[in-house]
Structure 1
Amino acid sequence: MYEDPIELKLYFDTHHKKDGTWTHPQAQENYEQMKALCKQAIDEGTEISGRQILEKVLKSKSGYARGLGYGVKPISSKDLEFEAILQAEKMAAEKKPMN
């Protein structure tokens, strides 16, 4: 069973009021985009981290990861490239027939 990444839960909790409304219409739109990215990844059979989702939807700034605060640095392009290589190797290994 699929469970939302913790980052999405945190975003929901910090942008949703006790009365069930959103703090801002943009917050609701961002959350819906995040959920759509999660669903797309599941449908395609790919993996995407909650942090990657936040960065795709909220965009990062230099030295600041939106949605995560000032103490967290954005994912670097080198890290993203490394993750893509690892995922490609994993998919290739899964497609190889076992002896």
Structure 2
Amino acid sequence: MRRAVNYSLSMRFKNFKHHCHEHYQKLGADSARQTPHENIKMDDWLRLCDHFESPQFKRQSTANKRSKSMQTYAHTTGGKLCSQRMYEMEKAKHAATHPEEENSSDQPSDVVEQEEPKEMKVYAATHKRTDGSWVDVQPQHNYEMQRMYVEALEKGNRLFGAEILAMVLNKAPTYINKQNPTSVKEKELEERLENSLPEGEKQRQEF
């Protein structure tokens, strides 16, 4: 409960600070100092202006803008690292399946459920809106291609790039081949998929 409250408060402060910075940028340094953002005392506002003008904040702001400009499509993680999101998802899953840590060690389960790699779960979670819809078509295609590739490996099969593209795009394989007679994109797709696989899946493929 305390952690949820702290997280909610930190997000509210983060959003408020963002609006304050927008207000500061809109007016400019000199004018902004004389016109504080609403619902903030002058002394607190001046300290916040000092923060916005500090070299450390400017470096971080520049780095964030550069990182955002390199994104090819949107995601929903904000400034949070995917590794942190993965940790939070794993912890939430453990809490849901072991609410009181009852019988977690005394009675091991004989049933091993086959689940998709956690990296793919994080990818889906960080590229979907709260209503479950994808933020962009490209992340959805990437996820579908990875999912099909992993499922094929688990069944002892192997799907090639053209086959995966055909299923994701709902096109016949012949259409894909006609669009790509040299199969360069297919090879690039296979390499990208293999590089994105979790280490355990790569080792299974080698065997």
State the TM-score, normalizing by the size of structure 1: 0.47
Q: TM-score, normalized by length of structure 2? A: 0.24
* Larger RCO: 1 or 2 (CA < 8 Å, sep 6+): 1
